[in-house]
Amino acid sequence: MKPIDADRKIILSHPTDNVATAKSEIQPETILFLPKGRKIEVREEIPFGHKVCLRTIPKGGPVIKYGERIGRAIRTIRPGELVHIHNVVGERGKSQSKNKG
């Protein structure tokens, strides 16, 4: 698969994010060139609007989007893999308090 400038295929919302959103479907083996000379190979199909992993996220590690923690990995997620409900537990919008008041 030919290399593609990441700006053409993904939206990186914040520089600290470890995931990015697909602007269109991304096929496996696509090479995405990221800022600072980094590159990743897409390992599986990433549907439009879904997230692709940019850096290894260890099991239990935070999934970061918009510069904020949005979930927790339930298994190690490698760069280029789809990030979705099969490997992440969402945390956005959930109360951090155990006391419902």
CA distances (Å), origin 63, targets 1, 47, 60, 86: 27, 18, 9, 13
Give me the residue spans of the domains in the chain.
Answer: 3-90
The pLDDT assigned to 5 comes to: 83
DSSP secondary structure string for all residues of the chain: --EEEGGGTEE--STT-SEEEESS-B-TT-EEEPGGG-EEE--S-B-TT-EEESS-B-TTPEEEETTEEEEEESS-B-TTSEESTTTEEE-TT--S-S---
Q: What is the pLDDT of residues 43-90, one digit of tens each?
A: 999 999 999 999 999 999 999 999 999 999 999 999 999 999 999 999
pLDDT given for residue 35 in this prediction:
82
Mean pLDDT of all residues belonging to the chain? 90
pTM: 0.86
Give yes or no for residue 6 having a pLDDT over 90. no
- Residue 1 is predicted with a pLDDT of 63
Regarding predicted confidence, which is higher, 75 or 3?
75
Nearest residue to 84 (alpha-carbon basis) of 53, 42, 62, 55: 53
Level-2 CATH architecture, domain 3-90: Roll (2.30)
Lowest pLDDT segment from 1-10, 12-21, 45-54: 1-10
